[in-house]
Structure 1
Amino acid sequence: MFTLVFEHPDFLVIDKHPGISVHKDDNEQPLLAEVARHTGDEKLYLIHRLDKMTSGLLLLGRHHDAASQLSANFAQRVVEKYYLAIGTKKPKKKQGVVIGDMSRSRRSSWKLETSRENPAITQFFSTAGGDGRRLFLCKPHTGKTHQIRVALRSVGSGITGDDIYGCETSDRGYLHAYALRFPYQGEQWQFVCPPTQGALWQGEAVQAGLAEWQSPWSLNWPVIAGKSKG
């Protein structure tokens, strides 16, 4: 279900495996319960969420005060989040910013609108992913449901294995929470967790791309209109 990445007296960082839900099922959270059994915690607090298909870094609070402080960081948008994805084909543009309101579409899906009243904002880079696919590094500035999945679909490269927005089946949905950077009690914490589960991550082109993106916060990201670089 998970791999423990880092243990702090106030919080845990885990690598959630793909296909594992972080949501409550019948008022229980099996993932949190399993982590607590492993670490000996009586109760853990979910600070943010990942889609079921998404693997990667997940932050958990070990007590109420820490959870409140860490959750406030997300609410204030001072947490930097970086995701990797493998898209099914070459996008309309190799890098840039996707901005737009998101609205409900059919069934469980969302769609990107041209309006910008309360927009989802996602910066991205891409490089060759092998066999006609594309490797993406994404930096979301908002936390909308399915944000990255919808953003990549909007630029013409739905995520491989995504059963809602993709157009190619695979052994998993190829979206991974790759890096986190956040302040806590006067220190800046940063974690990078390369993906391990999924055959396509091991391809030569993907590995070459990952080698260029080992410190995602230091990259020269595409400029968001009205903001400075960063």
Structure 2
Amino acid sequence: MNEIRTKVQLIDIDDDMAGQRIDNFLRNQLKSVPKSVVYRIVRKGEVRVNKKRIKVEYKLQPGDVVRIPPVTITEKTDQQPVISTKLNAVANLESQIIHEDDHLLILNKPSGLAVHGGSGLKFGAIEALRALRPQARFLELVHRIDRDTSGILLVAKKRSALRHLQAQFREKTVQKYYFALVMGTWKRSDKQVTAPLLKNEVNSIVRVNPKGKPSDTRFKVLENFDKATLVQASPVTGRTHQIRVHCQYKGHPIAWDDRYGDPRFDAYTKTVGIDRLFLHAANIKFRHPTNDEWMEISAPLEAKLEKSLTKLRQL
């Protein structure tokens, strides 16, 4: 173990930083420091705003000056494999950025990469992006997609952009479209699934259940194959695993879905080179946080999946 003692920090709060609670601000500034330490230094009065003691509920105002005291960060000495893995992921992500401006960054996230660290994972897409943009003062996820789902992921570069974009998600004005390869022949007349979904908090498995939360997904057939269908799925609500469970519920599980799939379909699609969840966030439409103008972004399928679709057409 190595211990690193940080220096005193004085941070001027601008309009973009204002509005957040001091504890949340500190947790973002001191990412490697345990939450208990963050709350302790506030309670002891070591954190000052405008040279005064504050409570953890205090909301920062434009023009505030925050003093963050020295803290000790403990780092493990056996981090080399993790660092090496992270560097590889960071290098690969640079080519997956499909849009970037002063307020947001849009990533075509690869399948298999979690959006953030946790649950035994050392890092995810957001940690890799922060390593890729070390000069960025602010990088936060606007929304999340499953680890094995590929495609569009919005990342805010300013707090004002984060608030604006998340408000659009809450108000359901963001339009999202996914590509999914499902088992069997999806009827073109089946354009909507509204089965309520209930999540098991122990194992995170989601099932259709009358006691669940209202859930709405719109579907459109894009292409029919011999034993599969490529559909476009647009979630109106944003429940966990919503598209995957609604497809299973209709009797058309998605290829290579390790929770809700069908091994027979996986074996069939493996013959054309598919070996990952075939669910891809392909298109999104939203209002840009600065000028409120509509933006439409598309993320291409990885070449391997495109080749698999070509092979399916030849069967």
* TM score, norm. by length of structure 1: 0.80
Rg larger for:
2
One-letter identity of the residue aligned with 1:32: I
Residues 32-85 of structure 1 show CA distances to partners (whole Å, capped at 9, x for unaligned) of: 121123344243110000001100000000021111111111111111111110
Q: Which 4+ residue blocks in structure 1 deviate beyond 4 angstroms? A: 26-29
Match of 2:205 among 100, 109, 112: 109
SS of residue in 1 equivalent to 2:144: coil
One-letter identity of the residue aligned with 1:82: Y
- Partner residue in 2 for 1:35: 129
| Residue 113 to residue 30, structure 1, CA distance change in 2 (3 Å) | closer
Q: Give 1:201 deviation, angstroms.
A: 5.8
What are the ranges of 5 or more consecutive residues in structure 1 without an aligned counterpart?
Answer: 208-230
- Partner residue in 1 for 2:275: 171
The alignment status of 1:83 with 2:178, answered yes or no, reads yes
More strand as a share of residues: 1
Q: Percent identity?
A: 27
Paired with 2:215 and 2:251, the residues of 1 have a C-alpha distance of: 17
Paired with 2:185 and 2:283, the residues of 1 have a C-alpha distance of: 24
Higher relative contact order (Cα pairs below 8 Å, separated by 6+ residues): 1
Match of 1:47 among 142, 151, 154: 142
What are the ranges of 5 or more consecutive residues in structure 2 without an aligned counterpart?
Answer: 1-88, 267-273
Match of 1:148 among 236, 239, 243: 243
Paired with 1:121 and 1:206, the residues of 2 have a C-alpha distance of: 29
Residues 137-176 of structure 1 show CA distances to partners (whole Å, capped at 9, x for unaligned) of: 0111010000000111111110000000111335100000
SS of residue in 2 equivalent to 1:43: coil
Match of 1:71 among 166, 181, 184: 166
Paired with 2:312 and 2:100, the residues of 1 have a C-alpha distance of: 29
SS of residue in 1 equivalent to 2:102: coil
Query: What is the number of residues matched between the two proteins?
Result: 206
Structure 1 stretch displaced more, 51-60 or 120-129: 120-129
SS of residue in 2 equivalent to 1:120: coil
Residues 167-222 of structure 1 show CA distances to partners (whole Å, capped at 9, x for unaligned) of: 13351000000111001232111101121154466423878xxxxxxxxxxxxxxx
One-letter identity of the residue aligned with 2:109: K
Match of 2:107 among 4, 7, 14: 14
One-letter identity of the residue aligned with 1:23: H
SS of residue in 2 equivalent to 1:142: coil
| Residue 200 to residue 186, structure 1, CA distance change in 2 (3 Å) | closer
One-letter identity of the residue aligned with 2:209: E
More helix as a share of residues: 2
Match of 1:24 among 117, 120, 125: 117
Question: For the Cα contact (< 8 Å) 1:85–1:159, is it kept in 2?
Answer: yes
| Residue 95 to residue 104, structure 1, CA distance change in 2 (3 Å) | same
- Partner residue in 1 for 2:296: 190
RMSD: 2.5
| Residue 28 to residue 187, structure 1, CA distance change in 2 (3 Å) | farther
- Partner residue in 1 for 2:45: none
Paired with 1:153 and 1:175, the residues of 2 have a C-alpha distance of: 13
Question: For the Cα contact (< 8 Å) 1:88–1:166, is it kept in 2?
Answer: no
| Residue 197 to residue 34, structure 1, CA distance change in 2 (3 Å) | farther
Paired with 1:140 and 1:192, the residues of 2 have a C-alpha distance of: 16
